[in-house]
Amino acid sequence: MEHRHMISSVAKGSIAREMGIEPGDILLSVNGHEIEDIFDYRYYIEDEYLELLIEKPDGEQWELEIEKEEYEDLGMEFEQGLMDEYRHCHNKCIFCFIDQMPPGMRDTLYFKDDDSRLSFLQGNYVTLTNMSEHDISRIIKYRLEPINISFQTMNPELRCRMLHNRFAGEALKKVDILYEAGIEMNGQIVLCKGFNDGDELEFSIRELTKYLPNLRSVSVVPVGLSKYRDGLEPLISFTKEDARQVLETVHKWQEMLYPEHGVHFIHASDEWYLLAEEELPEESCYDGYLQLENGVGMLRLLENEFTEALESEIGDDIERNVTIATGQLAYPALCRLMERLREKFPNTKADVRPVKNKFFGESITVSGLITGGDLIEQMKEITLGERMLIPCNMLRIDEEVFLDDYTVSEVEKALQVPLNIVKSSGQDLLDTVLGRNI
Ligand code: SF4
């Protein structure tokens, strides 16, 4: 059989345990069906009557008959969460951030995935360029939605050029199939100056509105340019004037679309507002924050949550002295919030410090790409107070490690200050500044 799935754990008291299945066994089929990945597995084990084909470590094959409740889980976990290899992308996009990373970082950071299953499981954006008809029909069969699509442009020729893939224009036809099948989608446009901006952006937005309402939202984000672009397509940063034009286009479409569709549909990421030096939109313009992962509305959400949390506080005059390290992008918003904090907590000094991204290049302004090395370098001469706060997105998920492999304790040691990790909400920020959840 082509697909063999090593079982990594079997839950206590589960059906699998009762049937004698053990870690190290291999699942070969369910009701005679080979299992391609986790979606096949979940689908086929829903039945009340199952026949599992299991291979034991000595090669012996067991045919197990199971009667259970419909949808009841068997209690097995597999070596690979997806029960398949992650799909590698087939593109060489002119704006790819992975191509702009310095050498010598962790291998996993160089992996270019483009896997629709991860779109569904983790919210990743996919280009549709490596999807077969079989993949599309599985999305429809299993209702793997929403699918998040990196459009970049709706001009097929330009898309081929930007993705360096001659099939990238053709791949847009798959959107029609997903749309016809009623699959929910979200979209993203990474804007590159002189390529897909201006009239091309207008054209793309117009074309994308044809997929409303199944296509629920589309974000426009500026290309991230690191200092490691040798040998890559020359790209230039957007100016304040460019950002204003992008916002004008986005707002114009929002105003046209909202009355008819009840959604704003096209959204500019927070970076555009910072670059244009314009006010962030109100919460209602974000349609329920469908594109937070793309940096759309993060600052508005933080500001609203923090203000709401602060309103329910009585305040105190306890002395506190902390530093908040952040990227250039969130710096103005955090300064505003700390000013508000002082109205109720006058003796709380929260010194917000923007960290320049020397590691990737100073045009990178998000806090999620700040390294431990930059933090140490730029904070070592500063009086940091009792504690230093950093946002959790500076660290790898569920680990106390920065992008450049510095650990939290190494940074604490170098700066001689405890680090407090702020989770993502405004309430978390307030609590951490006040020293409640440290
Ligand atoms: S699809 Fe994504 S990972 Fe692949 S080259 Fe393009 S930007 Fe990079």
pLDDT tens-place string over residues 352-370: 999 999 999 998 999 999 9
Nearest to 148 by CA among 217, 250, 220, 222: 217
Judge whether residue 98 has pLDDT over 80: yes
Q: pLDDT at position 99, please?
A: 93
Ligand 1 contact, 333 CB (< 6 A): no
Q: How far, in Å, is the centroid of ligand 1 from the Cα of 94?
A: 9
Nearest to 92 by CA among 228, 233, 218, 194: 233
Residue nearest to atom 3 of ligand 1 (CA): 112
- C-beta neighbour count of 65 within 10 angstroms: 9
Please report, for residues 144, 154, 157, 214, 261, the alpha-carbon distance to residue 178 in angstroms, rounded to integers and kept in the order given: 11, 16, 21, 9, 20
CB neighbour list of residue 237: distance below 8 Å, 6 or more residues apart: 193, 222, 225, 363
What gap in Å lies between CA 163 and CA 166, rounded to an integer?
8
Closest ligand 1 atom to residue 112 Cα is 3
Judge whether residue 391 has pLDDT over 90: yes
Nearest to 324 by CA among 304, 312, 339, 313: 339
Quick check: 417 and 380 in contact, CB under 8 A? no
Q: What is the mean pLDDT of the chain?
A: 94
Three-state SS for 243-296 is HHHHHHHHHHHHHHHHHHHCCCCEEECHHHHHHHCCCCCCHHHHCCCCCHHHCC
Judge whether residue 120 has pLDDT over 90: no
Q: pLDDT digits over 249-280, tens only?
A: 999 999 999 999 999 999 999 999 999 999 99
What gap in Å lies between CA 379 and CA 373, rounded to an integer?
10
- Backbone phi and psi for residue 186, each to the nearest 5 degrees, phi listed first: -130, 155
Nearest to 286 by CA among 264, 308, 258: 264
Section 395-418 average pLDDT: 94
Quick check: 130 and 158 in contact, CB under 8 A? no
State pTM to two decimals: 0.89
Among 55-64, 103-112, 156-165, 195-204, the range scoring the smallest mean pLDDT is: 103-112
DSSP SS3 for 321: strand
Section 176-205 average pLDDT: 97
Judge whether residue 112 has pLDDT over 90: no
Strands (E), 164-239: 185-191, 215-222
The DSSP secondary-structure symbol of 297 reads S
Give the pairing type, strands 49-55 and 26-30.
antiparallel
Among 108-122, 253-267, 366-380, 406-420, the range scoring the smallest mean pLDDT is: 108-122
Strand partners, 77: 9
pLDDT band, residue 108 (cuts 50/70/90): confident
Q: How far, in Å, is the centroid of ligand 1 from the Cα of 90?
A: 8
Mutation to probe ligand 1, out of 153, 163, 192, 195 (largest number of atoms < 8 A from CB): 163
* Amino acid at position 395, single letter: L
Whole-angstrom Cα Rg for the chain: 25
Please report, for residues 192, 222, 331, 417, the alpha-carbon distance to residue 436 in angstroms, rounded to integers and kept in the order given: 43, 37, 23, 17
Structure tokens at 97: 């951030």
Ligand 1 contact, 89 CB (< 6 A): yes
Mutation to probe ligand 1, out of 112, 153, 163 (largest number of atoms < 8 A from CB): 112
Q: pLDDT at position 1, please?
A: 61
Ligand 1 contact, 269 CB (< 6 A): no
pLDDT band, residue 323 (cuts 50/70/90): very high
Ligand 1 contact, 196 CB (< 6 A): no
Ligand 1 contact, 114 CB (< 6 A): yes
Structure tokens at 192: 């590159």
Ligand 1 contact, 112 CB (< 6 A): yes
pLDDT greater at residue 130 or residue 179: 179
Judge whether residue 209 has pLDDT over 70: yes
HSE-CB of 349 using CA atoms within 13 angstroms? 8
What gap in Å lies between CA 16 and CA 37, rounded to an integer?
19
Judge whether residue 103 has pLDDT over 90: no
The DSSP secondary-structure symbol of 360 reads T
Q: How far, in Å, is the centroid of ligand 1 from the Cα of 148?
A: 14
Closest ligand 1 atom to residue 150 Cα is 1
Section 313-336 average pLDDT: 96
Quick check: 213 and 85 in contact, CB under 8 A? no
